[in-house]
Structure formats: structure tokens, C-alpha cells
Amino acid sequence: QITLKESGPTLVKPTQTLTLSCTLSGFSISSGGEGVGWIRQAPGKALEWLALIYWDDTVRYSPSLHNRLSVTKSTSRNQVVLTMTHMEPVDTGTYYCGRLGNSWVDDWGQGILVTVSS
Amino acid sequence: YVLTQPPSVSVAPGQTARITCGGNDIGNKRVHWYQQRPGQAPILVVYEDNDRPSGIPERFSGSNFGNTATLTISRVEAGDEADFYCQVWDTDTVHGPVFGTGTRVSVL
């Protein structure tokens, strides 16, 4: 069974850096063809893609946020880590990680609600 | 690349709901659809225009032509009430997934 689970702080202060982990089960990020993406959703708003990483370390970032984002993987921990700098209240929302299919998101984590507030 | 969906669609139980997703020449892209029930993570209900993952009822189907993709839900049930998002892969600028604006389906 494939599962993904997000973890990290649920409250960050403005200007701080957010670091979220996505722990994978049932598949390995180091296996050929695998990829994991990060998607967020502000309260009451639509889904917004942030970043993705593939088994071969290829990374892609949302053009509007690329200068604030970094995504890495740990094959030993079977995790994908998202870092987002300079957090502001508008960054409040639920952050999801997802296993990528050919060009879609096959499986989603449960999400983690991150609030940015002083 | 922008994907535009109607904010809401209302349908009576047993009837058919159609959710549109507009994008420039979207017919030349592969479209995927997600259902998100309140307080839950999205789930994939249709991929590559009209294929269904295992476990998704045949009542969910899709089409894609020209500038509009459509998700059709036949014989709507109360449990279908949710937000639905279309998605394509943008290979020109974003080099990643682009999501639609979302449609709230309400079952009357």
C-alpha cells in the first residue's frame, strides 16, 4: 500500500523558513521513474503546485515561487523535504505531498495545515 | 497556462453533473480530474482525459476537445458532493502541473 505523510511545524512566524518532510511508504523515491510533488491550498482556495523532484534529482519549481523554494530527497530515509523561505501570512494553508504518475498526482498525503502568524 | 472552471454546479440526485475546464487548445493536452471532499485530501478520479483509477465508479467519465475538457458524473449521489479540480501538465513554461480554479458540486 502506498502512503505519503507530511510532517513539520504547524505554526511559523513571518519571515521564518518553513521545512516540511514527506515520508514515503510502499515505494522508493530512488526507484527509476518515481517523482514526488508538493502542492498547497490556501483556506477556501484552489490547489497550487509548488515543486517536484524525481528519482534522478531533477527538480522543478513554480515560477512564481522558485526563488523561495528548495526540494531535496533522502534515499536512506525515503523522504522528500521542502524548504520555503521568507514565510508570510499569505502562505498560510494546507501543504500536500503527492506521488507523481505520468503527468498527474497518483497518491496524496493527508496534508499539513501551516499557519503563518506572529 | 490558465485553466478556468465554473465556481459551482448544482445537481439533483440521480441526475447528471457536467463540470467544464477551459484552456487554450486544451484538447491537445492530457487532462486529469481530482475530487476533494470537505476536510480531505484530493483523490484522482479521472486521468488522461477519460481513464479511471481502480476503485473509481464508472459514473465518472471525461472528455476533452478543442478548448474545453469536461468531467461528467452520471447518476449523482449525495456522496459526490465535493470540490473538483482539473489539471494538465504545462511543458512550455511551468514544466509542472497546473490546476484549474475548482468547481464546487452541490447535490440538491
* pLDDT tens figures, A13-67: 999 999 999 999 999 999 889 999 999 999 999 999 999 999 999 999 999 999 9
- How high is the pLDDT of residue B54? 94
CA distance B15 to chain A (A): 26
Predicted local confidence at residue B92, as pLDDT: 83
**Cβ contact B96:B90 at 8 Å:** yes
Query: Does the pLDDT of residue A78 top 90, yes or no?
Result: yes
Grid cell at residue B75: 447518476
Q: Which amino acid is at A53?
A: I
Residues of A in contact with B3 (CB under 8 A): none
For residues A59-78, give the mean pLDDT.
95
Query: B72, B64 in Cβ contact below 8 A?
Result: no
Query: Chain A residues with CB inside 8 Å of B47's CB?
Result: 101-102, 104
Distance (Å, whole) CA B29 – CA B2: 13
Query: Nearest CB to B96: which of A49, A102, A106?
Result: A49
Smallest Cβ–Cβ distance between B94 and the set A63, A103, A110 belongs to: A63
For B32, half-sphere exposure in the C-beta direction (CA atoms, 13 angstrom radius) is: 21
Please, what are the averages of pLDDT over each run of 10 residues along chain B (108 residues)?
A: 96 98 96 97 97 96 98 97 97 89 97
Q: CA-CA-CA-CA torsion for A61, A64, A68, A69, nearest 10 degrees?
A: -20
pLDDT for position B93: 79
